[in-house]
Amino acid sequence: MAEPAQSTRPQRRRMPLGFKWTALVAVGVFVTFAVLSLVLVTVMRQILVTQERNAVSDTIGAVEQRLSPVAADNLTVANVVPRIEGTTIDYGPANAIEDTPSASIFSDSVIQKISRADISLAIFDKDGQTLFSSQHSDQPFQRSQTTKIEMIRSHDFNGTLGRAPIVSTVTGKMIGYVQVTNHMTDFFTTMRQVYELIIALFGVALLASMLIGFLMARRFLKPIRLITKTIDVVNEEPQSSIRIPVLRRNDELGDLVIEFNQMLDRIQRFIDQQGEFVQDVSHELRTPVAILEGHLQLLNRWGKDDPEVLDESLAASLQEVTRMKSLIQEMLDLTRADQVDVQFPNAVCDINQTINQVVNDFRMIHPDFVFTLDNDLKGETWVRVYRNHLEQILIILLDNAFKYSTDRKEIHVSAALNSDGVSLAVQDFGEGISPKDSDRVFNRFYRVDKARSREKGGNGLGLSIAQQLVESYHGQISVDSALGHGSVFRIDLPVITEATAAKLKASEATKQKTTTTDIHSELG
């Protein structure tokens, strides 16, 4: 026995989509922000470090500029201090002469020029004796033969240290050393502030991204939740006419909702059709079964002894069985008629030849009728239709024309090519169909006059089969009729070129050959 349908959805979802979405957006923002911050901080740090190094190198440059004109062998307090502090002290004629060309430059102090509390300066003579030191110069003296500026990070000093020899431009000899210490107080303060700002911004960005992610997830998941809810209702009650409320959004999710509703409509139509079909079939079968039952009861009661009743009832029962057989065959034809493209994908047939043949067959079967064939088709005219199906369609229309003809026993068949394809028409001059009924004759089991149609052996399925077949082959069928004057049934089918027909026939032949070979190889 079939298991009752169960929801395959787990009761507790381990990680809801909304959460995943929010987390994904948050991680995305985190990574983007982290990378951008890293780039920004690195570039900014680089710029600031360069500025700090420049400050040291400028100070060294300024000191060198002041002290290099000293002509003595070694620097002394006397020739250093005034040049650095900018004070005018009389150091004797030698110095006065030496200082004359640039005396005005020394009127301002290098210390003032530095004007930064975190930069300190120390000047040593060539033996390493301190000649000048701004009060907080705290780094030990080291000789250096070239100008060296380096960033030092140690437990007792964080900053930039610059060391350079002072060479006299007069004697060309090394006369002392300059050492500049930059504690980079502003740099460290700025960097700390930047880090604090980034952390704060990061927190805000993370919260904002989580919020945005959550809101976006809610918005995007809304249709999905609605679809799930709708599926739940449809699962509970398959006949329900519930549909997803159409969202006013012009995107893929909006399309999904529309498509989903259309799919539900189609399924609903299909279920309704199935139900109707079963109802119609049972209804159609009820009459012959009731007739059969009546005759069998008759036979049971009197037929055994009365040969007349026996003959009559047997003949009537056989007739009903034949009718039921034709009904069952027509119902099968109808259900198969919508799968033609799957069953016969490469089928082609020459419509010109098929019409000639079917009309000739009818001429032979009904010699009392005049069949006129007005065929404008010149030579082979190919359509993508399985030949037996084309014959079946023509037979249904010609048979109806014959069945529903009255006094005028004439049937006209015409065929012509037009811009869209080939157009066929079957015309009779019989009872005709009222406009009200014209719309319904293609419905299953519909007969204008049920008793009369039944008398003529009709089940009301012929036109349904014809319509289903024609539409499956991408054609159209229509009726034009006047009550009491006759009807014209028209069929339009697309035609294909001879080359396409040849190609399709060749591929069909290959397919059949392959299938035959397969069977042979299977049979060994």
- Residues within the interface to ligand ADP (CB under 6 A): 396, 400-401, 404, 428, 430-433, 441, 446-448, 453, 458-464, 487
Instruction: Tell me if 350 sits within 8 A of 328, measured CB to CB.
Output: no
CB closest to ligand ADP, residue no: 458
Beta carbons of 411 and 405 less than 8 angstroms apart: yes
- Given the complex with ligand ADP, which of 396 and 491 has the nearer CB atom? 396
Is the Cα torsion angle 152, 157, 159, 164 positive or negative in sign? negative
121, containing H or E segment: strand 119-125
Type and span of the H or E element at 417: strand 410-418
311: closest CA among 321, 298, 323? Answer: 298
Least distance to ligand ADP, CB of residue 462, Å: 3
Using the minimum distance from each CB to ligand ADP, give the nearer residue, 377 or 441. Answer: 441
Minimum CB separation of residue 405 from ligand ADP in Å reads: 8
Name which of 344 and 404 has its Cβ closer to ligand ADP.
Answer: 404
Q: Residue 150 is inside which H or E element, if any?
A: strand 148-153
| Start-to-end Cα distance in the chain | 40
- Least distance from C-beta 425 to ligand ADP, angstroms? 12
How far apart are the C-alpha atoms of 461 and 447, rounded to whole Å?
9
- Residue closer to ligand ADP by CB (options 58, 410) is 410
**Closest separation between CB of residue 220 and ligand ADP, Å?**
51
Which sign, positive or negative, has the C-alpha torsion 41, 46, 51, 53?
Answer: positive
Q: How far apart are CA 297 and CA 275, in angstroms?
A: 32
Least distance (Å) between residue 436 CB and ligand ADP: 12
Beta bridge partners of 149: 162
Smallest distance from ligand ADP to CB 226, Å? 43
CA 191/CA 193 separation, integer angstroms: 5
Between 79 and 459, CB nearer to ligand ADP: 459
Sign of dihedral through CA atoms 387, 329, 400, 319? positive
Q: What interhelical angle do 77-85 and 17-67 show, nearest 10?
A: 130
**Minimum CB distance to ligand ADP smaller for 127 or for 439:** 439
Q: Provide the minimum distance between the beta carbon of 492 and ligand ADP in the complex, in angstroms, as a whole number.
A: 18
- Report the C-alpha dihedral over residues 353, 355, 356, 359, rounded to 10 degrees: 160
| In the complex, minimum distance from the CB of residue 384 to ligand ADP, in angstroms, rounded to a whole number | 24
Q: Smallest distance from the beta carbon of 2 to ligand ADP, in angstroms? A: 37
User: Of the two residues 490 and 503, which places its CB atom closer to ligand ADP in the complex?
Assistant: 490
Amino acid occupying residue 373: L
Q: Which is nearer to ligand ADP, 99 or 428 (CB)?
A: 428
Specify the residue, 18 or 432, whose C-beta has the smaller distance to ligand ADP.
432
Q: Tokens 């099968």 — which residue?
A: 332
Q: In 3D, which of 285, 159, 207, 191 has the Cα closest to residue 29?
A: 207
Q: Residues 182, 95: contact at Cβ < 8 Å? A: no
Shortest Å, Cβ 453 to ligand ADP:
4
Least distance from ligand ADP to the Cβ atom of residue 423, Å: 18
To ligand ADP, the closest distance from the beta carbon of 426 in angstroms equals 8
Collapsed DSSP state (helix, strand, coil) of residue 367: coil
Residue 275 sits at φ, ψ, to 5 deg, of -60, -45
CA proximity to 56, closest of 163, 128, 131: 163
* Shorter beta-carbon distance to ligand ADP: residue 260 or 446: 446
Which residue, 223 or 458, is less far from ligand ADP as judged by CB?
Answer: 458
CA distance 377 to 424: 10
Sign of CA dihedral 189, 195, 196, 198: positive
Task: Specify the residue, 404 or 473, whose C-beta has the smaller distance to ligand ADP.
Answer: 404
